[in-house]
Amino acid sequence: MFGTSFTALVPLWAVLATSFPHHPSHDDLLIKTDSFAVKGTVWPNNSATHFYGNIPYAEPPVGELRWRPPVTKSPSTEVINGSWFGPSCIQYSSGAETAYTEYLTGFLISPGQTQSEDCLTLNVWAPKNATEGDKLPVMIWIHGGGFTSGGAASQYKYGDRLASDQNEIVVALNYRLNIFGYPNAAALNGRNLNPGLLDQRKAVEWVYQNIYAFGGDPEQMTLFGQSAGGIAVDFYTYAYPFDPLVKGFIPQSGVVSSVAPDRTGSNFTYVASRLGCGNATTADETFACLQKVDAQAIIEVYNNYNATLNGGKSLSFSPTADNQTRFENYTDLQTRGLFARVPTIYSMVNNEGTTLLDYDPAGVNQTAAAAFTASFATCPGDAAAAAKAAFGVPVWRTRYFGTWPNLNPLSWLGAFHSSDLPMIFGTSDLRGPDTPAEVATSKYYQGAWAAFARDPSNGLKEYGWPTYDPNGKTLIELGLNGSTTAVFAESDAFQAACQ
C-alpha cells in the first residue's frame, strides 16, 4: 500500500449548494443528490477513471457514538472534497518489522495518509463516462489488516484499473479497527460487540441507496475482501442471511473459521485502568469515562503494551461472538443452511503463511508456513465451500500460485498472502514493469472477478470455470507454472494437510 505518493490534495472546492434536485445531476465531476454532494477528480495516471473519495456513510463515531453502532449520515448541502481519500481509521502498530513494512509496503496504507477516529468514509472509482442510468455492476471492497490496521487508501488495491478495464464501479470503504471497532466492553452486555463489522453493513446500505448516482446498479453489487476483509465478507454471509443486499460474495484468504473469537473480555478494562477510568464502580461508568478520553491516548496504550511486563498476558481487540455479526458456532449454521444463499468465490493463495508468521529476513520455516496455510485458509476454506455447495449455492474455489520479479523481492515468499491482489486490481507494475505473462495473468484474473460481478450465477460458468464439487476436478488453480489461464485440479488436492 505504498509506492508513488499522492499526498498533495487538490484544494478544497469552495462550493456550497443551497438546494439539490430530486434526482442526481452531474456537472463535470460534481455529483449531487438529495442527501449529499461530492466533487470528484480524474484519477492520477488514469484519465479513463473518475474518483470520488472521502464520502461519509455514517456520522463520526466520536464522543457518545464511540463504540456504538454507526449512525446513518444526515443529509448535507456541503460539497465534499472528493479529490482524495479521507483519513484512515486509527491504526494499531506494535512497531515490529514484517515482510510488509520492510519489502512489501505497497500493501499498507498509502504514504501521507492521516489517521482519525472520524474515518467512516468510502471511495468510488467509476469509468469516466459513467452516468446515472448506466446500471454498471458494483464491486464493494473490504480491506484487510488483521482488524487492527489497514484502510481503503492502499496502492496495490486502488480500484481505478479494475473500474476502467472492466467497465464497472469499484467502492472501497473504511471501518473501525482494533479497540475502536472491537471493544468487547462489559457495558455492551454482549450486544453490538463489533461496531467495525456494523460499519461495513452501514457502508453497503449507503452504496445500495446511492450508487445509482455514479452509474452503478444497486441490484448488481458484489462484496469482496481479503484477509481480515475476506473473513469479514464471510461473517457478512451469516449475519445477513435474508437481506444481504448484494448478489455475490468473494472472501479471499480468510473465512469465518480462519481465526477464533476473542473470549477474554478483560482488555477494555485494562485500557480504562491506564487512562484514569480505573476507579469507576460499574461497567457503564467505565465505558462512559473512556468515551471521553482522547483517542490518541487510547491507541498509545495498545501500541505500547508489553506482554512480558504483564505476566505474559496478551492485549488484543478483534471481532468476538455476539451472535449478530459474529457467531459462536458456524458449523451449526452451515449444517442448517443459515447463510445468505448467494453465489460465492472462496479464494486463497498457495503460501499464505510466509508473510504471516514471525518475520525473519533470512526466510521462514517453510514447513511451519505450509501448516499455517492449511489451518488458516485451505481447510476452513474447503469446508466453507462444501457447506454452501451442499445447499445448492453456486460456489467456486480458487488457489493462486503466481510469482513475479516485481512482486517477489525475497525468493522464499512464494505466492504470499496478498500477492493475488495486484493481479485483481491490475496494479502489479507499482514497483517495476510487468512481464508479458504477468500482464496476461492479471487480465485473466481480473476478467474472472468482473465476469462474476456482472452475473454471479452464470458469469464464471461462461468463463469456463466449473462450480465447486468436493469430489470433482473443480479446484481452479491460477498462475500455476507460468500458465496465464486456469488449470483445474482435484478439489481435495491439498486436503491431506487437513487430516
Residue in the structure block whose three cell numbers are 508468521: 357
User: CA dist 299 to 89, 185, 271, 296, Å?
Assistant: 11, 16, 9, 5
Cβ pair 27, 79 in contact under 8 A: no
CA 263 and chain centroid, separation = 24
The number of CA neighbours under 13 Å toward the Cβ of 365 is 6
Contact 82, 52 (CB under 8 A): yes
Pairing outcome for strands 49-56 and 169-173: unpaired
- The reply to whether 352 belongs to the active site is yes
Q: Rounded distance, CA 21 to CA 32, Å? A: 8
Q: Is the CB of residue 36 less than 8 Å from the CB of residue 76?
A: yes
d(CA 62, CA 90): 12
- Among 248, 192, 202, which Cα is nearest to 225's? 248
Three cell numbers written together for 230 = 475476506
Query: 227 an active-site residue?
Result: yes
Which residue among 83, 258, 347, 417 is the active-site one?
A: 417
Active-site residue, from 149, 154, 227, 316 = 227
H helices within 94-194, ranges in order? Answer: 99-102, 160-166, 178-181
Candidates 117, 168, 352, 438; catalytic one: 352
**Closest of 170, 148, 168 to residue 157, by C-alpha:** 170
Conformational region of residue 55, where left means phi above 0, alpha means psi within -120 to 50, and beta covers everything else: beta
Active-site residue flag, 117: no
Determine the Cα–Cα distance for residues 132 and 53; give it in Å rounded to an integer: 18
Pairing of β 115-116 and β 121-127: unpaired
CA R_g for the chain: 22
Query: Which residues are marked as active site?
Result: 227, 352, 417
